[in-house]
Structure 1
């Protein structure tokens, strides 16, 4: 996992536009965040929110065929 990071992006204004806010690059923190996401009890549902998300996260790729979570 050397050199991997999670990029945190924050929404700017009222639109669905995000800018880089913070990078998490400490190996243990990145590993813990990935573990939480991988072990979550996900339910596939379509939802509609009253507004856009405040933050989004970009996780590192395990390999080039995977898509980052946002």
Structure 2
């Protein structure tokens, strides 16, 4: 019996696009991923993390000047 697991790459994300380009080098993608999992299980994997994307904070403009009266 076989279990199929799919993997997706967000090609709009530069990091995931780079991962996809690297993965395309391997004709046996399934075998490649299995070897990575095996290394991880054995404690031999090289762990790296995706760089955190810069958090964007948005502010709503509020023209109600009565809010500012408490500061005067």
Fold agreement, TM-score > 0.5: no
Bigger RCO of structures 1 and 2 (CA < 8 A, at least 6 apart): 1
Query: What's the TM-score once normalised by structure 1's chain length?
Result: 0.30
Bigger Rg, which one: 2
Query: What's the TM-score once normalised by structure 2's chain length?
Result: 0.30
The structure in which a higher percent of residues are helix is 2
